[in-house]
Structure 1
Amino acid sequence: MTDSGSTLAIGIDIGGTKVAGGLVNESGTVVDHVRRDTPHRTTEPKVVEDLIVEVVHELLARATSDVIGIGIGAAGFVAADRATVVFAPHLSWRHEPLREALVQRLDIPVFVDNDANAACWAEYRFGNVQGESHVVMVNLGTGIGGAIVVNGRIQRGRFGIAGEFGHMQVMPGGHRCECGNRGCWEQYASGNALVREARSLVLAGSPLAHDLAASVDGDPRRLTGPMITEAARAGDPTAEELLAEIGTWLGTGLANLANAFDPGAFVIGGGVSAAGSMLLDPARDSFRRHLAGRGYRPEARIVQAALGNESGFVGAADLARTAVLERADATAGNGR
């Protein structure tokens, strides 16, 4: 680890499968980072809370200067108070007072936000959409997260839940989603969807999935999204087709979002975005085919996120730093 040379903040990214954290300086540089896997299908919120505290303490022990704030990016609906996780489809959190629980254990200001909001903020501040006034981010991971930044402000909505694009219904009566509904977008354009389709081919004994099946000794449960992406990079036509199908669904959903928000750029993040052009080229083609007024209106750029797996905790840290400094400015202003 090197000295940051500037104010540090800690960002924590809580996903469906991991808790990742980083020490981040004012320029968005990750000075140090830690990752812990979450227990499979944990039902106890305190288990994840304990992991967060463990990661924070480890990062604090490595910090070379003061840490002014901790930002938490949680995969779920976060209330407008930036303190409560209202609902997390992939974790057992229901109206979970996460900030209060963490403040009692950590003597540093804590701010909670949606993980996609944090990732979008990181890309807006330090990534591929710097300078763009209207940004929509779509994060393809275990599910689909989304976020909106307009003129330098995250659009959280009246109740803090804006950007939950993954739960738009795109196929009435379709696959059951963990949110309780059927046919949600994330059931067709996420990492889970990619793995589900690959596993179904292996289970069906399809000759098209021979190489994928051989890579896991015939056990479809061992297939993962990164394995499918690597197979596609190696030229496996079935893996390529599966990614293209995810990309087609992605582009269809983006066209709907363009009609709603008219952004200048879409930034695509999350683990599935590592597929790059194999995912994004089909998405761009589908986007153009489904965009209302195509050929007569400006089209948003569709770009890959620049910060990769670090975007969530980089953005969470920067949002925490921003909140602490805004609070300090407000206090100073009241004292004048």
Structure 2
Amino acid sequence: MSAPLAIGVDIGGTKVAGGVVDANGVVLKRARRVTPHRSTAPAVVEDTIVEVVEELTAAAGGHDAVCAVGIGAAGFVSADRATVVFAPHLSWRQEPLRQALQARVPHPIFVDNDANTAAWAEWRFGAGQGETHLMMVTLGTGIGGAILVDGHVQRGRFGIAGEFGHMQVVPGGHRCECGNRGCWEQYASGNALVREARSLATAQSPLAADLLARVGGVPADLTGPVITEAAREGDPTSRELLAEIGTWLGVGIANLAAAFDPGTFVIGGGVSAAGDLLLGPAREAFRRTLTGRGYRPEARIVAARLGNEAGLIGAADLARAEVEGLA
């Protein structure tokens, strides 16, 4: 008898992506929706999740083919993996997500932070295989993070461990959606990259001429993928912007290394698609900033392998592991 299938759903600031995932981490079927605007009621987002799960259940062959549903949410998730305590990029505040979904979905539901699910996927099937002490940093709309030690996700006493993006690195710096100023994600995320590019373009800086030409002269149309493509094609300003993000990334992970001493940092999220244009400067800044540099082993800094599907793969596999008593 084949191993049961699981459904994973990854909820971000812009999309709800789901997949039917087998025991080897292979995504067999996919479904995707645009995330309803953050000002809408949480129930609207839950409706979208249920739509995705129902579509995938049918694609998998019906309810009997699916053993569990895992949800990777972009926010703080309680230690019992039931409540989204706070989601900076969505309208969830103390939202009993598992209870709300369980009333509508005939499978066991497990909710986790989306960075935890991505890290689990990379440890099981991707760049972190074999690592006993792994940390993941995901660069997307903001910055997410996760810690795995000896194959166990470290969620902390209250379930909120790994929120590296909201470490304050610049006192009095840029305002963050979490309510504080100077958070790391304001300097080393996709939002930070786009903000700096649009600022140059809005000021009509000649340095932004190439970028503006790519979006028909409309700064608001500049996105992370546009900037990354320009950098790959040699635009010096785009390369400089990515290097700046990478430098902030390296400084931040050097601080994490001082606190946690992992063997590997896996860098994922949409911005990581820039590859060495981002990770090269990050590694340089890491080595330059690392406490005890030159006298201690250095963690590896590697790109995630599973791309945008790491979150849903990990959510599904964690849910399956919970049902089987392996997580």
Same fold (TM over 0.5): yes
Q: How does 1:186-197 map to 2 (within 5 A)?
A: 186-197=185-196
Paired with 1:283 and 1:5, the residues of 2 have a C-alpha distance of 43
Q: CA deviation at 1:42?
A: 3.3
Aligned residue in 2 for 1:43: 40
Paired with 2:183 and 2:11, the residues of 1 have a C-alpha distance of 22
Aligned residue in 2 for 1:138: 137
Paired with 1:296 and 1:94, the residues of 2 have a C-alpha distance of 45
Paired with 1:52 and 1:188, the residues of 2 have a C-alpha distance of 31
Aligned residue in 1 for 2:182: 183
TM-score, length basis structure 2: 0.98
What SS does the aligned partner of 2:19 have? strand
Unaligned runs of 5+ in 2: none
CA deviation vs aligned residue, 1:69-102 (integer Å, no higher than 9, x gap) = 0000000000001000000000000000000000
AA at the equivalent of 1:19: V
Aligned residue in 1 for 2:110: 111
Aligned residue in 2 for 1:325: 324
Paired with 1:100 and 1:110, the residues of 2 have a C-alpha distance of 9
Paired with 1:40 and 1:235, the residues of 2 have a C-alpha distance of 35
CA deviation vs aligned residue, 1:26-59 (integer Å, no higher than 9, x gap) = 0101111111111333331111101100000110
Paired with 1:247 and 1:232, the residues of 2 have a C-alpha distance of 13
2:312 counterpart of 1:313 = yes
AA at the equivalent of 2:125: F
Paired with 1:153 and 1:42, the residues of 2 have a C-alpha distance of 35
Bigger shift: residues 210-219 or 123-132: 210-219
What SS does the aligned partner of 1:73 have? strand
Aligned residue in 2 for 1:170: 169
CA deviation vs aligned residue, 1:264-322 (integer Å, no higher than 9, x gap) = 00000000000000000000000000001001000000000000000000000000001
Paired with 2:59 and 2:122, the residues of 1 have a C-alpha distance of 26
2:53 counterpart of 1:59 = no
AA at the equivalent of 1:12: V
Aligned residue in 2 for 1:208: 207
CA deviation vs aligned residue, 1:246-266 (integer Å, no higher than 9, x gap) = 000000000000000000000
AA at the equivalent of 1:58: E
Q: CA deviation at 1:6?
A: 3.1
TM-score, length basis structure 1: 0.95
2:259 counterpart of 1:260 = yes
Aligned residue in 1 for 2:271: 272
Paired with 1:27 and 1:42, the residues of 2 have a C-alpha distance of 38
2:174 counterpart of 1:158 = no
What SS does the aligned partner of 2:325 have? helix
Aligned residue in 1 for 2:31: 34
Paired with 2:227 and 2:117, the residues of 1 have a C-alpha distance of 27
Paired with 1:159 and 1:127, the residues of 2 have a C-alpha distance of 28
How many residue pairs get matched? 325
Paired with 2:41 and 2:33, the residues of 1 have a C-alpha distance of 16
AA at the equivalent of 2:154: Q
Paired with 2:249 and 2:179, the residues of 1 have a C-alpha distance of 21
What SS does the aligned partner of 1:263 have? coil
Bigger shift: residues 31-40 or 9-18: 31-40
Paired with 1:39 and 1:104, the residues of 2 have a C-alpha distance of 21
2:8 counterpart of 1:14 = no
Percent identical pairs in the alignment equals 73
Aligned residue in 1 for 2:21: 24
Paired with 1:34 and 1:199, the residues of 2 have a C-alpha distance of 32
Paired with 2:172 and 2:217, the residues of 1 have a C-alpha distance of 31
AA at the equivalent of 2:46: E
What SS does the aligned partner of 1:171 have? coil
Aligned residue in 2 for 1:219: 218
Bigger shift: residues 209-218 or 99-108: 209-218
Paired with 2:324 and 2:77, the residues of 1 have a C-alpha distance of 22
AA at the equivalent of 1:169: Q
Q: CA deviation at 1:129?
A: 1.1
Q: CA deviation at 1:5?
A: 4.8
Paired with 1:36 and 1:288, the residues of 2 have a C-alpha distance of 40
Aligned residue in 2 for 1:284: 283
Paired with 1:41 and 1:153, the residues of 2 have a C-alpha distance of 32
Paired with 1:61 and 1:226, the residues of 2 have a C-alpha distance of 33
Aligned residue in 2 for 1:244: 243
Paired with 1:39 and 1:152, the residues of 2 have a C-alpha distance of 34
CA deviation vs aligned residue, 1:175-223 (integer Å, no higher than 9, x gap) = 0000000000000000000000000000111000001111112211111
Paired with 2:219 and 2:317, the residues of 1 have a C-alpha distance of 40
Paired with 1:184 and 1:131, the residues of 2 have a C-alpha distance of 32
AA at the equivalent of 2:137: V
Aligned residue in 1 for 2:123: 124
